[in-house]
């Protein structure tokens, strides 16, 4: 299921408490999700941020659709992808991945919406592009500026590890950075699921960390799209 909201113009101030979403037949389809999720599902909102071209769309697609997309275009605004998962044999939870635009011109008007009611953040860099690694402090700074609580789980993901001969960011350097910012580091490939840390395992690890968080509530209006209503901020959870 892909919930698409590409244009800033569609995101008015009512977005603070609700998101009007629309279905896209061309989008990612969850392996376990029916056409409409059950009412009152638990939703974990995870934003995926990093420079343009690092592979945010491919990573979220890999997790939600189970494969590498045939082609991608620069994300405009934000794309949502969702997948229902079972955690510790508990009832189904919705993992909602916000695939944000890396290009400044495609994100600036809606950036404040990304950061509302976030449960976790995934910072992505491209292992074959050292500039995307050097940009990470500015992404961390952006989170700070949007008053993201310090205790919100964050992870660092180096993508494209399948391009072995082109690696520019050594693991030990990335590990030092991750340690300095108290984040776990994962190196992966959205393209080749057999390389290093599996995308599936990365997001499921995050979901396990989140399971004690207070959920967003989901309700279904009688004759329109789905409305996701936010509850008060999630309870504090330790990321350790």
Ligand X SMILES: Nc1nc2c(ncn2[C@@H]2O[C@H](COP(=O)(O)OP(=O)(O)OP(=O)(O)O)[C@@H](O)[C@H]2O)c(=O)[nH]1
CB of 66 to ligand X, least distance (A): 15
Nearest C-alpha neighbor of 160 from the set 45, 22, 68: 68
Query: 56 vs 213, which CB is nearer to ligand X?
Result: 56
Q: Scanning residues 157 to 176, which ones bind ligand X (CB under 6 A)?
A: 159-160, 162-163
Binding mask 52-91 for ligand X (x = CB under 6 A): xxxxxxx-------------x-xx----------------
Query: How would DSSP label each residue in 22-50?
Result: EE-TTS---SS--SSPPTT-EEEEEEEE-
CB of 200 to ligand X, least distance (A): 14
Query: 81 vs 160, which CB is nearer to ligand X?
Result: 160
CB of 86 to ligand X, least distance (A): 26
Query: 21 vs 100, which CB is nearer to ligand X?
Result: 100
Residues in the interface with ligand X (CB under 6 A) total 20
Q: Scanning residues 194 to 223, which ones bind ligand X (CB under 6 A)?
A: none
Collapsing DSSP to helix, strand or coil, 132 comes out as helix
Strands of 227-229's sheet, edge to edge?
18-20, 227-229, 217-219
Q: Are strands 78-86 and 92-100 parallel, antiparallel or unpaired?
A: antiparallel
Query: 57 vs 96, which CB is nearer to ligand X?
Result: 57
Q: How far are the Cα atoms of 72, 78, 90, 194, 200 from residue 8, in angstroms, in the given order?
A: 20, 9, 36, 37, 30
Name the segment binding ligand X (CB under 6 A); options: 16-24, 169-177, 183-191, 224-232.
183-191
Strand ranges, E, within 69-208: 78-86, 92-100, 120-126, 154-159, 185-187
Note whether 189 and 160 are within 8 A (CB).
yes
User: In terms of C-beta distances under 8 Å and separation of at least 24 residues, what long-range contacts does 176-180 make, across chains too?
Assistant: 177/133, 177/136
Binding mask 98-127 for ligand X (x = CB under 6 A): ---xxx------------------------
Collapsing DSSP to helix, strand or coil, 92 comes out as strand
Query: 94 vs 187, which CB is nearer to ligand X?
Result: 187
Name the segment binding ligand X (CB under 6 A); options: 50-58, 80-88, 109-117, 223-231.
50-58
CB of 167 to ligand X, least distance (A): 11
Binding site for ligand X (CB under 6 A): 52-58, 72, 74-75, 101-103, 159-160, 162-163, 189-191
């Amino acid at each position: 299921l892909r919930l698409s909201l590409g244009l800033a113009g569609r995101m008015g101030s009512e977005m603070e408490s609700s998101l009007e979403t629309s279905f896209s037949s061309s989008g990612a389809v969850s392996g376990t999700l029916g056409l409409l999720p059950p009412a009152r599902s638990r939703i974990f909102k995870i934003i995926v941020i990093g420079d343009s071209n690092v592979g945010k769309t491919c990573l979220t697609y890999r997790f939600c659709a189970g494969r590498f997309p045939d082609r991608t275009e620069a994300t405009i605004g934000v794309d949502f992808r969702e997948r229902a998962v079972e955690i510790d044999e508990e009832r189904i939870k919705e993992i909602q991945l916000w695939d944000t635009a890396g290009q400044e011109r495609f994100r600036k008007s809606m950036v404040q919406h990304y950061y509302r009611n976030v449960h976790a953040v995934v910072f992505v860099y491209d292992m074959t592009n050292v500039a995307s690694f050097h940009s990470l402090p500015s992404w961390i700074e952006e989170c700070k500026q949007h008053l993201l609580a310090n205790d919100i789980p964050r992870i660092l993901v180096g993508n494209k590890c399948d391009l072995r001969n082109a690696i520019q960011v050594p693991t030990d350097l990335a590990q030092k950075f991750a340690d300095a910012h108290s984040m776990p580091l994962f190196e992966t490939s959205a393209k080749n699921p057999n390389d290093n840390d599996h995308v599936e395992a990365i997001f499921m690890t995050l979901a396990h960390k989140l399971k004690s968080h207070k959920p967003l509530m989901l309700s279904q209006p009688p004759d329109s799209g789905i409305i996701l209503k936010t509850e008060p901020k999630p309870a504090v959870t330790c990321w350790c």
